[in-house]
Structure 1
């Protein structure tokens, strides 16, 4: 093991990425987001292909939404990481920016531009902390009108092509939702699909004539597939393209409405493809680098625009010519440098857990026997560790660690059955998966059983705490980032709108407090035998900072080895460069100290 190379670590941490490309009207211009200046901002390319600012906001930019012609744009930004988006408008491609939808104490979710570009739709919890209603805002007069109220989490997806309605989404559980067509004038709704079947629906695309729509769903299926529906009789969807093993993630309808571009999640990496609607023919595109693709746009009838990230690509925007299957990298956010040659691509493995379930994981940096190991647990829990750039994983691998990143039961990407394997009172089965991962690493990859550490963020932080309290002998060190230390106190203190959805996954305050008490890491701190490093953001609206404070206080009373670092200017994510550098420097120093 080497001493910490702070300069090299800084290079890993400051590798910049571009993501979320958005085409501007009918032109070939587009915007994208990049953390080039210390926090994410909106950028574009000039005629020489060089980056220039689209609009600079005082805090991070979460997304940009261009009107159909591209003459107007909405910029979404929050304050100090609190995720309470506010909307700003520019009518001159970022030259000047004005406030549009502002209510600093509330959340806002963008719901699309009206076809005539005079209005936008959005959802907000202004009426009640736990309920999201639908609003329409006139962008000229800046007047707002509530058009739909419901005592649930409701968001707008897009306008109908005639401008008289909205397609809205109602959250049913942590993963499931319903789609409805809302008639703005009458307030009446019609469901899309069978509302009696638990399902996911997203990535809605509408034809210009307003008669046919396309979406991605798992209604009546295990995996997500492409389906069509009629807006005249939307209750029945017809599947067009499906994969029995993998989820289709995103679709985008071509300008001539003859093709659907889509991405397929194959075990954590994306496959880009095009489906020809008339001929029912699919063409996979192989020229684009392997990785994860998001925000697919059609630049023209034969060219796609997408963001690409992978274990060795921090993030760039690529163009793909469909007919020729030729790709071109449009941005170079992180130029090729000496540090890039040390980045490694993971190998994909699986282990057999206690009940015979096959659990996949990525393994980075495996070089020799008796290596120290870091297990990196993703959040969610309905998320997935994917083939994406992670600076800390890469740096630890360069320092001689083997890094295992599992998708334990409950992870997305492997079908509905897999994601529900850890629901409510099956919660600890996913923690048991970690126990069997350690066995697999030591028995089949010759990892050093005395030098195994674990880290995770958000729900991954809970997994860390559960692992070191329920399997205390396995670990040499642990890192908890914005983690849950007790589901009861988490549910009591998180936002009311989040509580209702999370109770579907974790269990409820009404029915499952006994189980929460049984499994809570906070109730088992006496079993912790390893040093613990904790990070949290003061403005976290998802997992309150009290989760970290109560755990730290309890451990300090027992004279346990614990350190808590709170970022007063961060929320659930760590966005600011100086905090990002401090946190990850501390993590690497911490694991080097205890596992060296």
Structure 2
């Protein structure tokens, strides 16, 4: 017997509502706590806007008519905004400065084929910024000190050739680094000042993972880091710089510490969060416990502290939910009061979104696997068409919270299963290391086990399951279809590598310090890599495949998709190939994302039988098909 709910599917959510520009994102507070900078659309592209908190005087201060701006923040003087931009997705970011009182933006890191990323900004040093920049040699990111008044960047700290991360102290001096040394292990190096020699504070085995530098203590006598040394999961630890003694500050036996908040008023580490099924914060000082309690009351979403004023009196807090878009608040610590700033996508509030629930099941070898299941609204949860949505990285993890791809698929009638397969982060080093050199091995079979679990539980119709993913997730799509041709009805591969040999031979120059990590986690023997590459099993693929790539992808070159599509077409496999000339590793332009979604929606419906929104005039994709 059917219910009325089953007979009344929810209205189709327009692709524009799901994939168009968010109306507000990435909020940052000015050093004095009076104004807000945020990303929002202007003439169709994400731009930087500024407004007074509590007023409606919003105005655009930075805009690129060609490409969306991905990141912006305040300069310490409160008069300038700093932002990043690359060219057509090449990820060679430059740091720009714009004066709120007028004038053209200034490129602070000019030059060709350079990659600049912010390392440190501090309102106590309003005319300085530290950036990592590969100006001296393409493969190494040195630290440069930028004079923000003069617009000049000078070499500050040279990379010795093995450094993969840097940290500055409270005087804006580079005093800590993480390096991967011969043999693959990591060392934390520190020094007592800008002219002092480096020394090793600690050594960390490769199996423990790369330690993550967090902050110096307020007196600069201790260093906080996140590390799994002598533990399974990443812990927050404190090193005494004089004695090298290491003390555990926060730990969980199974899940990694993921976030840390440093109070800008005191420069103390006052809170940290562990990502379990959801994000769980813990206060590290008695005084900040009251703030966390107040933030938990504001909203039932998972929150993160995105920014703070220079005196720490105003916090910018983002709340993430599974079935509604993100929301941003300004929190007044003196009054313990939160003020709503904006919702990222207000039009979505008119629709009923699908809740996401945590799931767990064993892999075929008994390893516990965890993930999230999203079921379509208005449908009985039995024998549904399903999409197995595979995250990229692969050293990443799916999390609870709103995800536009997931909600799009659920709204079209599909169950969506996301699994954190072995090799994913967040679940401790044993789980991470279980994925070493298993890209087409146990990592692949974990995905098959997730599929089989959904079928056994009755959620999924075994004849109507697709696999869909980007980057490593795209590679996982290809291996699933090549190794087990009958397991899925179709696949969607976005920027996935097809031949691990050509992929690793073409990594960006600035990834070279990570070469040992790639060797240990992926492999280096050419015959082994060939055996793990779906390109050489392409004739085994029998179901329809949609392949998508950005022509300027610096991580996974377009060659990876070109050679795959050529092999598939030579074998008579039905494949559609979509290439965007103005994209890199993924789709940054909402217009391209909507074009892709329009094509993918019809593609999935043909194989699985889901719902389709009629094509819109601005979603034409034929000219991008190859």
TM-score (norm: length of structure 1): 0.89
CA deviation map 1:88-116 (0-9, x unaligned) = 12354776521211123121122224753
The residue correspondences of 1:272-351 to structure 2 (distance < 5 A) are 272-276=281-285, 285-299=295-309, 304-320=315-331, 327-337=338-348, 340-351=350-361
> Are the structure 2 counterparts of residues 583 and 144 from structure 1 closer, same or farther at C-alpha, using a change threshold of 3 Å?
same
Selected match of 2:545 from 532, 543, 557: 532
Selected match of 1:363 from 367, 373, 376: 373
More off after superposition, 458-467 vs 55-64: 55-64
CA deviation map 1:320-367 (0-9, x unaligned) = 4669876543213322556x4321111211121110111112111153
| Partner of residue 566, structure 1 | 579
> Take 1:94 and 1:249, find their aligned partners in 2: how far apart are those partners?
39
More off after superposition, 502-511 vs 95-104: 502-511
CA deviation map 1:15-34 (0-9, x unaligned) = 62644333321324332334
- 1:485 aligns to 2:498 (yes or no): yes
Distance apart, 1:207 and its partner CA: 4.3
Please tell me whether the aligned partners of residues 270 and 290 of structure 1 are also in contact (alpha carbons under 8 angstroms): no
Selected match of 2:48 from 42, 49, 53: 42
> Take 1:95 and 1:307, find their aligned partners in 2: how far apart are those partners?
31
Selected match of 2:119 from 103, 111, 117: 111
More off after superposition, 349-358 vs 161-170: 161-170
| Partner of residue 83, structure 1 | 91
Please tell me whether the aligned partners of residues 252 and 261 of structure 1 are also in contact (alpha carbons under 8 angstroms): yes
Distance apart, 1:181 and its partner CA: 3.3
> Are the structure 2 counterparts of residues 426 and 587 from structure 1 closer, same or farther at C-alpha, using a change threshold of 3 Å?
closer
> Are the structure 2 counterparts of residues 119 and 280 from structure 1 closer, same or farther at C-alpha, using a change threshold of 3 Å?
closer
Please tell me whether the aligned partners of residues 291 and 333 of structure 2 are also in contact (alpha carbons under 8 angstroms): no
Count of paired positions? 591
Distance apart, 1:578 and its partner CA: 1.0
More off after superposition, 317-326 vs 132-141: 317-326
More off after superposition, 480-489 vs 498-507: 498-507
The residue correspondences of 1:421-436 to structure 2 (distance < 5 A) are 421-425=434-438, 427-436=440-449
Please tell me whether the aligned partners of residues 437 and 523 of structure 2 are also in contact (alpha carbons under 8 angstroms): no
Please tell me whether the aligned partners of residues 154 and 171 of structure 1 are also in contact (alpha carbons under 8 angstroms): yes
> Are the structure 2 counterparts of residues 346 and 457 from structure 1 closer, same or farther at C-alpha, using a change threshold of 3 Å?
same
> Are the structure 2 counterparts of residues 559 and 427 from structure 1 closer, same or farther at C-alpha, using a change threshold of 3 Å?
closer
Please tell me whether the aligned partners of residues 376 and 403 of structure 1 are also in contact (alpha carbons under 8 angstroms): yes
| Partner of residue 430, structure 2 | 417
> Take 1:93 and 1:194, find their aligned partners in 2: how far apart are those partners?
49
> Take 2:108 and 2:68, find their aligned partners in 1: how far apart are those partners?
17
Distance apart, 1:559 and its partner CA: 1.6
The residue correspondences of 1:521-560 to structure 2 (distance < 5 A) are 521-560=534-573
> Are the structure 2 counterparts of residues 90 and 552 from structure 1 closer, same or farther at C-alpha, using a change threshold of 3 Å?
same
| Partner of residue 624, structure 2 | none
Please tell me whether the aligned partners of residues 39 and 575 of structure 1 are also in contact (alpha carbons under 8 angstroms): no
- Secondary structure, counterpart of 2:270 in structure 1: strand
Where in structure 1 are there 5+ consecutive unaligned residues?
none
| Partner of residue 129, structure 1 | 138
The residue correspondences of 1:213-252 to structure 2 (distance < 5 A) are 213-233=223-243, 235-252=244-261
CA deviation map 1:463-508 (0-9, x unaligned) = 0001011111111010000001011010112213325526524659
Please tell me whether the aligned partners of residues 21 and 46 of structure 2 are also in contact (alpha carbons under 8 angstroms): no
> Take 1:372 and 1:40, find their aligned partners in 2: how far apart are those partners?
35
CA deviation map 1:551-593 (0-9, x unaligned) = 0011111121001111000000211121011011111111001
More off after superposition, 445-454 vs 210-219: 210-219
> Take 2:302 and 2:288, find their aligned partners in 1: how far apart are those partners?
28
Distance apart, 1:182 and its partner CA: 5.0
> Take 2:317 and 2:214, find their aligned partners in 1: how far apart are those partners?
17
Distance apart, 1:231 and its partner CA: 4.4
| Partner of residue 55, structure 1 | 62
Where in structure 2 are there 5+ consecutive unaligned residues?
1-6, 610-626
Selected match of 1:518 from 523, 531, 555: 531
Distance apart, 1:528 and its partner CA: 0.5
> Take 1:93 and 1:414, find their aligned partners in 2: how far apart are those partners?
48
Q: Output the aligned Cα RMSD.
A: 3.3
> Take 1:29 and 1:494, find their aligned partners in 2: how far apart are those partners?
41
- Secondary structure, counterpart of 1:223 in structure 2: coil
Distance apart, 1:75 and its partner CA: 1.6
| Partner of residue 374, structure 1 | 387
More off after superposition, 368-377 vs 562-571: 368-377
- Secondary structure, counterpart of 2:326 in structure 1: strand
TM-score (norm: length of structure 2): 0.85
- Secondary structure, counterpart of 1:460 in structure 2: helix
| Partner of residue 458, structure 1 | 471
